[in-house]
Structure 1
Amino acid sequence: MSAAAPESGQQDLGGWLNQLRAGVLGANDGIVSTAGIVIGMAAATKSVPVILASGLAGLAAGALSMASGEYVSVSTQRDTERALLDAEREQLTRDPEAALAELTQEYVDKGLSEDLARQVAIELSAGDALAAHADAELHLDPEALTNPWHAAVASIVSFAIGGMLPLLAIVLVLVTARIPVTFGAVIIALVLTGWISARMGHAPPARATLRTVIGGALAMVTTYALGLVFDV
């Protein structure tokens, strides 16, 4: 396996991690935004149909917004990757010797001797010059660019799943226990998503989880207070 072509397992792992990232973020947003809506409505009214309708509307709007945002964001990233590959392809066509010198220098910078670096660059370029340069210089695989549709689908599904937790908790529990049960369920879910996102980013789990929980709790307390103001 050449250095210019990452193993298929590595490509699959990168795509899977991208979808997992979008999924975790989508679930977190779904939990917080839907919880904020239903807790605010529960503070304002005891009508289950009103609370349910508001929660479903917020869940649908949020899921579509999250998916479209992920699609636009990843599409922009994909366009940038394609532009970089086009520039690399143009250089290979216009001045292959200069491109070979650049690739050789990349391997020299990684610790190879000048002669060995040039030999590696020549052999890799003979197979697939664009893939060799893209891997060494851009850290890209031309055959495995980011997919905006995967991120969008992961976002909309995870947002909907995350949003269903506070929605079900608020409408299936007795009136007197709605808000505390929903608050507790949301906090537990936020601890889980905060820990997962921290592990994915190799960050300290405690700090990231605390930030996630504080943000979600603040959103619920704020919307609850607003709901009390408009008590009907």
Structure 2
Amino acid sequence: MPRSDDTAGGSADTACPHPQEPHHDGLGTRLNWLRAGVLGANDGVVSTAGLVVGVTGATDSRSVLLTAGLAGLLAGSLSMAAGEYVSVSTQRDSERAALALERRELATTPQAELDELTSLLRNQGISHELAREVAEQLTARDALGAHARVELGIDPEELANPWHAAWASFISFTAGALLPLLAIVLPPHDSQLPVTVASVLVALAACGWGSARLGNAPGRPAIVRNMGGGAIAMAVTYAVGALLGAAGV
């Protein structure tokens, strides 16, 4: 006969057998913020680093480097914010349209929608009898929410927010862009390039590790991708800037 504490432990394990897995509510919103933030920071670091390193290949003027870096920072942050706002607004409009259509179908053909929900649950490997019972209970509790989640893959309570995505991109891009900008204009001339390259690679490694950590993904592939992409971008832009500088352009 199991002890009472074993029974309690079993109940707790049944409720949450894998606490390290992201079963909590709001995962979709969290991942959207993560996506916008990581993309913004990565783009800010890589694009600004490529810009200032490329200009360094052509000139060592601090005023030129600062002007180019600030222009790249502002243009990039505003572009990222506008792009995220437009993209997520389109996504939200599509989600709202799909929910409106589902709401009309539930109002006009409730039986057909119940049959459809039953069929969708059966497609997940549930027997017809159990699928019907689950569909009826879900419909009685929240018909629109059930169809939105099972049929459309949408959580009506967590629609995409374009302003959140825009601000996340703007702030993260600006934060990422400040690092290579400061690294290229603050050190002495002889150490500008190595300090910038090292700082950018460290930042990209940290960003890759952080994104993987928050998304419960392996860290090494993300770090390698981030550092590799940044290194290639800086090498190419520096080579182009050096060629243009040597040609007197």
Residues 1:220 and 2:234 aligned together: yes
Report Cα offsets for 1:92-119 as digits up to 9, x if no partner: 1221100011112233334444334323
Q: How does 1:12-51 map to 2 (within 5 A)?
A: 13-51=27-65
Helix, strand or coil at the partner of 1:10? coil
The residue that corresponds to 2:25 in the other structure is 10
| Residue 176 of structure 1, CA deviation | 0.2
**Alignment check: 8 A CA contact 2:34 2:211 kept:** no
Helix, strand or coil at the partner of 2:159? coil
| Residue 67 of structure 1, CA deviation | 1.1
Could you tell me which of 63, 75, 85 is aligned with 2:89? 75
The residue that corresponds to 2:173 in the other structure is 159
TM superposition score normalised by structure 1: 0.87
The residue that corresponds to 1:230 in the other structure is 244
Could you tell me which of 62, 66, 74 is aligned with 2:76? 62
Any gaps of 5 or more consecutive residues in structure 1? 1-8
Distance 1:84 1:16 in 2: 22
The residue that corresponds to 1:125 in the other structure is 139
The residue that corresponds to 1:3 in the other structure is none
Q: Does 197-206 or 77-86 show the bigger shift?
A: 197-206
| Residue 225 of structure 1, CA deviation | 1.7
Residues 1:208 and 2:222 aligned together: yes
| Residue 73 of structure 1, CA deviation | 1.7
Distance 2:219 2:208 in 1: 7
Distance 2:83 2:127 in 1: 46
**Structure of greater Rg:** 2
Distance 1:111 1:230 in 2: 63
Distance 2:225 2:118 in 1: 45
Distance 1:116 1:226 in 2: 65
Q: Does 72-81 or 55-64 show the bigger shift?
A: 72-81
Distance 1:115 1:141 in 2: 26
Letter in 2 for 1:17: L
Distance 1:226 1:112 in 2: 60
